[in-house]
Amino acid sequence: MGNDTKFSRKMVFYAIAILAGIYCGFTEIQFLGQIGKFCSEVFIRMFRCISMPIISLSVIVALFHYSSNKEMSAIWKKTLFYTLVTTVIAASVAAILYVTIKPSNVNIAIPENIDVGSQNNYTQYLLEIMPSSILEAFLEHKVLSVLLVSVIIGVSIGLIKDNKAKNSVILFFKGMHDVFFVITKFIVKILPIGLFGFITVSIRESRGNVDLMGMGAYFLIVVLANILQGTIVLPIFLACKKINPLRAFRAMLPALSVAFFSKSSAATLPVTMEMAETKLGVSPKISKFTLPLCTTINMNGCAAFIFTTVIYLMQNYGVAITPITLLTWVIIATIAAVGNAGVPMGCFFLSASLLSSIGIPIPLMGVILPFYSIIDMIETALNVWSDSCVTAIVNKTFAGH
């Protein structure tokens, strides 16, 4: 009852923010427009401020958290392998759909000072991924550099031989991750204020001349990428391991239903584990290790959303979408999804943070946000389905079922 009341109150706040943003966007009263612009700018600065630390810490924590368990080392490596492979494919499917469907732009004013650090050649592009110092990567908001440094740190922590030193380092990064997790939860709570600002700025930039077909094509790519991943890609993985995809889907259907309506992989975890063990025949030893791990790092739906959203907004603000851009963001979306902080609306928040970090305006996210709830339901169901598939494959490998 308490959760229903809290959810209803949250929806009321979002509705008020959307209506207020629409009114302030269309009205000729300049003062209201300035308020909306101020709110938008405040949230953009907040996203930009915490984006690099939270992405870095999430990746580091995700990589070292389980790798230190020697007994389950082989299972950990196999789970991580399938997680990365399926997540890369999810982002790649979104990329293929994006190139095929070619969504049109929304009519918005393009600021003259946008600079995403485009390079003249691929060699220079690759060279700039390696920062000359760790601080430079964070201070200059170089996303790829931060991800590279974070992956190296996360893997290196797991290889420290002195257990006392390793535990001290783990506690430090885990503590800092929790600090930014609390900050992120606070920002999400006051997100309706940002939504009001984003919608106000978006409408004032377009003045009601929005190309809804472009947005429709964007949403189609996100949803279709999730559907293809769930109905074609993952079943192929199962079939290659001689696991009946239809039987696996039927076994996990109760968990997928809970995931769809709860929009939370973590909240669904008890049901997922129960169905995996009793219906899918997964060994409890495997499920109790692999499923919590997958719930943390296996985010197929998130990767597709991050890729499509970032590329679409970059395109809308005049950035040339080249093959190297697509390839780069497939990699970034994969690593970012693995390092997703796991907060409510995590993928939406992470996309906004990534966009802010490369200097792309994010008011257009306000147009996406009212529809994100439906996307989030589909994404969560896909994530749990992917968790189940990876667990079934790992179980087949190690338990011989």
State phi, psi for 114 to the nearest 5 degrees: -75, 130
Give the 3-state secondary structure percentages of the chain, helix then strand then coil, rounded to 5.
80, 0, 20
Q: Which residue has the higher pLDDT, 130 or 322?
A: 322
For the chain, what is the mean pLDDT? Answer: 80
Pick the most confident of 177-191, 198-212, 239-253: 239-253
Give the C-alpha separation, 149 to 52, whole Å.
11
For residue 287, the tally of other CB atoms under 10 A from its CB is 24
Alpha carbon distance 242, 94 (integer Å): 27
Q: ∠ CA 347-179-59 to the nearest 5 degrees?
A: 50
Rounded to whole angstroms, how far apart are CA atoms 319 and 316?
7
User: Are residues 203 and 20 in contact, defined by beta-carbon separation less than 8 angstroms?
Assistant: no
Mean of pLDDT values over 285-313: 85
Domains of the chain and any CATH numbers: 52-184+211-398 (1.10.3860.10)
Q: Which range, of 111-120, 227-236, 322-331, 386-395, averages the lowest pLDDT?
A: 111-120
Per-residue pLDDT band at 110 (split at 50, 70, 90): low
pTM beyond 0.85: no
Q: Which of 69-83, 175-189, 203-217, 282-296 has the lowest mean pLDDT?
A: 203-217
